[in-house]
Amino acid sequence: MKEKKRSSRCCGWLLVLIVLAGVGFAAFAIIRQKMEPEAAPVPGLPGAITKKYADALKIAMQFFEIQKSGKLDKNPIPWRGDSGLKDGSQAKLDLSKGMYDAGDHMKFGFPMAFTATVLSWAILEYGDQMKVVDQLEPAQNSLKWITDYLINAHPTDNVLYIQVGNPKVDHSCWNRPEDMKEARPLTQVNTSAPGTEVAAETAAALASASLVFKSTDSTYSSLLLKHATQLFDFADKYRESYSISIPEVQTYYNSTGYGDELLWAASWLYHATGEQSYFGYVTGKNADDFANWGSPTWFSWDNKLAGAQVLLSRVSFFGSKDVSSSNILLKYRQSAEAVICGLLPESPSATSSRTDSGLIWVSEWNALQQPVASAFLAVLYSDYMLSSRTAKISCDGHHFTPSDLREFAISQADYVLGNNPMKMSYLVGYGDKYPEYVHHRGASIPADEAPGCKDGFKWLDSDEPNPNVAMGALVGGPYLNETYVDSRNNSMQGEPSTYNSAVLVGLLSGLVTTSSVVQSFA
């Protein structure tokens, strides 16, 4: 069912996007001069609301509610109820919270933690804009639903439960989560079976979330940070991919390496703590080992390198002078700009991995992951430039402004929302035309039915549209030829995922208003 969970670390860009390949990184005097902030429009506080993005954000946020496991005391989704209440009980843990991964009932810790990290990032950067359209509190609540689960999944320093449910058993059923009777086994990483990438991603999630809750719940924030530091130490000390330690995870969320997660987690811990040890971690030997200079990548649940480059560029833009002048930090920023240059259609180094209509397109499985995540990074970088009054970046000698980056981000968002050859929104519930046969068990089965494991397959095969609208679901997306087959059995195109929703929420939050000021994380 979910063979779509492919490694997305392979970039697919055939062009080398970093100008420095022929020049080398020795010429940092030139680099610094080029990167000196120039006069750019002075950004203001959140400006006029762009209604379509505000409406889309409110809809997108609802998918998190649909995906929640556990006791739903304040449940806004009429066809959802309590589920997974005994998850973790065999280990005397409460793993009832968290979110179901996609159209199934699995709790996969690796992408779930990524969902939390991205949602935290979106809140930290654009919480003021979320607040303007009354979406900040829902975002914080959804984030906490995941982080509560992640805290409980980390009962001791070097043990992390990374999965609830057996995928083979889970995917042989078609029923509502409220009616699950199948076994829910637990999978963990530990010192005997390490999982560096999943432990590091969980550390990133908890470190970033600690910043989100720092001003509103300092006790909870401190607890998050405590778990984050422990998990990072575990990830770094016992280095091994969970795909090697636990081979069965390769079928769904196979990892193609852990170096990016270590840099990503250390970057978030640096932002959360300000400790120089984490800055030294990302600028020392680990940068040489894992930064992969000169090879831009797609930002995804599997590869966080482009995200780490943009996040560390934030330090370059706004950090203290002694920190921001670091040569290695400039390499991260240079690499981040290479990623951005690859996205801009007018750039000499623009990737050819896009449809005729301009949508970034890398994989037929979950095709919208890369364009939405790329657009999120582009709008972030655009706002970093605006807030630092940096007028332009250079792509092989061609200059691009913050508005050029924002224009690219808008093009990807608008495609998702209906400006595409199919003239349909890929965000369920938005617009007049959107997928009606979403590959999602709970949405496909009437709420007054309670089928067993096998009985529910008649609804998978039904010719009728889903009786429940999976509001806010971002489906997998179009084929390269920009067609979409709206069939419940078409999981390649029609299955939504929680982590796709996170990057979409980030993108839409960045586009809600016409201007932004980057706020301090502290």
DSSP 293-344: TT-----SSS--HHHHHHHHHHHHHHS-HHHHT-HHHHHHHHHHHHHHHHH-
pLDDT at site 47: 73
Q: How far is CA 333 from CA 11, 267, 294, 433, in A?
A: 18, 13, 12, 40
State the residue for tokens 């179009």.
Answer: 478
CA angle, residues 213, 214, 215, in degrees to nearest 5: 95
Residue 331's contacts (CB-CB under 8 Å, 6 or more residues apart) are 25, 287, 291, 293
CA–CA gap between residue 202 and residue 112 (Å, rounded):
9
pLDDT at site 42: 55
SS (H, E, C) 473-496: CECCCCCCCCCCCCCCCCHHHHCC
Which tokens is 282 given?
């990302």
pLDDT at site 270: 97
CA–CA gap between residue 3 and residue 18 (Å, rounded):
33
- Concatenate the DSSP letters of all residues of 140-169 into one string: HHHHHHHHHHHHHT--BTTBEEEEES-HHH
How long a stretch of residues is the chain? 522
CA–CA gap between residue 132 and residue 128 (Å, rounded):
6
Active site residues: 439
pLDDT at site 517: 74
pLDDT at site 256: 93
SS3 287: helix
pLDDT at site 32: 39
Which tokens is 373 given?
């995540």
pLDDT at site 521: 78
The CATH T-level fold of domain 19-511 is Glycosyltransferase (1.50.10)
With a cut of 50, list the residues of the chain below it in pLDDT.
1-38
Q: How far is CA 498 from CA 42, 263, 344, in A?
A: 35, 23, 27
State the residue for tokens 């039904």.
Answer: 462
Pairing between β-strand 186-189 and β-strand 160-164 as defined by DSSP bridges: antiparallel
Which tokens is 28 given?
């940092």
Residue 135's contacts (CB-CB under 8 Å, 6 or more residues apart) are 57, 58, 61, 509
The answer to whether residues 385 and 337 touch, using CB atoms and an 8 Å cutoff, is: no
How many helices (H) and strands (E) are present in the chain, helices listed first? 22, 5
The answer to whether residues 484 and 350 touch, using CB atoms and an 8 Å cutoff, is: no
What's the burial of 384, exposed, middle or buried (CB within 10 Å: 0-12/13-18/19+)? buried
Q: Where are the domains of the chain?
A: 19-511
Q: What is the DSSP letter of 400?
A: E
- Residue-wise pLDDT for 115-160, tens only, equals 999 999 999 999 999 999 999 999 999 999 999 999 999 999 999 9
